[in-house]
Structure 1
Amino acid sequence: PMPDPTLSSDMAEQLLAPATDAAVQANMARLTAVSASTGIGGLTVEDMIRDLLRPMLKDWLDENLPAMVERMVEKEIARVSRGVK
């Protein structure tokens, strides 16, 4: 498809909200820093993403896992106590 002639370059630059753009820029800077800190190009994109996601996943699990386990245990105890199999 041909580009929309009514889409100005200003509009194209404003596709992201300022907060989203800032977050993207910050994450790209972190990705660049991780890449630069390795010294060699031995890391794959997957390695870098895994390194960036690991602390976020840990925080999410720390916040959500206890409640999830508690709900599952309560359901299982209720099921067993009713004699339902």
Structure 2
Amino acid sequence: MEKNHGPTIKDDETYQSLREDGESKEKAARIANAKANSSQHPSEKGGESSPYEEWKKDDLYDRAKEIGIEGRSNMTKKELISALRNH
């Protein structure tokens, strides 16, 4: 049964589906609201940034620092990539 998630969620059906798939409340809300906005296209590919695998480890570290990933100083390049993708 679909429920109303309040006025801040613009697409309750998408939100509920994402939550059932295990997405966080915040991520589900961002995606649901973007899909409900006709000027946004969340299913289309994003910007022009190269894949993390092509970044230098120092650049990955700096990005992790920007967004507040803890434990980044002890992470390998592979771990930094995983942490950035799962943040």
Do they superpose with TM above 0.5?
no
The structure with the larger Rg is 1
Give the structure with the higher percent helix: 1
Structure ranking higher on relative contact order (CA contacts 8 Å, 6+ apart):
2
TM-score, reference length from structure 1: 0.24
